Amino acid sequence: MSTAPSDDMIVKGWLVKLGAIHKTWKKRWFSNSASEPFVLAYYTDETCRAKKGQVSLREVYSFRITVENKDKGDKQRTQISLSTHDRDWKMRADGDRAGELWTAGINRLMQQVVKERKKPDDPTPTGAAATTTTAAIPTPVASTPATTPATTPATTSPATSAELYATAIAGYTSTNSNELSFQRGDRLKIIDKEDQDGWWAAEFNGQRGWVSSFYVTLDPK
């Protein structure tokens, strides 16, 4: 896989894809374009003449990237699962370098999908500081929010039987004043996740604001 130096949103390279009807794995050339960066089309080869299908990343509501142990040929395998309402797409990148590049490329594109979604305009409320720790975490497991919140996180926490925490599976830099910035492995206190359609109210480093569930996974209770 390679990324065009003039546009880091362009990704292309070989993946092995599982068929939807005939459950066999076939090697396909995947690529997006500057005109449609969030559409991953796949072809029989690099000439891109015989298009076999496409994946719309804007329709993906969750994805999973896992790294398997090296095979008999001493190659690392990176499994990529993209879930839409119509289909669960399963692809595989063979080799350490290909896996690293596809992981970075998919994460980069999906982060842009999240940033395109409209976010609340109200300023970030203040609140009590949450206790934070840094934890090493494995491969990303992420879910994109289906819709955006219509309100601002409350300044007081709802009554709960136990405090709820989540660990960041990817770093995020806020683009609005009412969002939280954090790094991969950071632990955030979740204040409310019941009715915000994927945007959760959270506390981190003494600040309260919105965090997309795309970037965090709930800690076991």
Instruction: Summarize pLDDT for 134-152 with one digit per residue, the tens.
Output: 222 223 344 444 444 545 5
Question: How many other CB atoms sit within 10 Å of the CB of residue 88?
Answer: 12
Upper half-sphere CA count for residue 135 (Cβ side, 13 Å): 16
The mean predicted confidence, pLDDT, of the chain is 76
% of the chain with per-residue pLDDT over 70: 71
The proportion of the chain whose per-residue pLDDT surpasses 90, expressed as a percent, equals 32
Distance (Å, whole) CA 180 – CA 215: 11
Report the pLDDT value the prediction gives residue 28, as an integer from 0 to 100. 96
Residue 104 has pLDDT above 60, yes or no: yes
Does 80 score more than 80 pLDDT?
A: yes
Residue range 50-67: mean pLDDT, rounded:
89
Range of lowest pLDDT (8-12, 71-75, 94-98): 71-75
Q: Token digits for 97?
A: 């370098």
Whether residue 215 has pLDDT greater than 60: yes
Task: Identify which has the larger pLDDT, 68 or 94.
Answer: 94
Give the whole-angstrom CA distance, residue 89 versus residue 41. 13
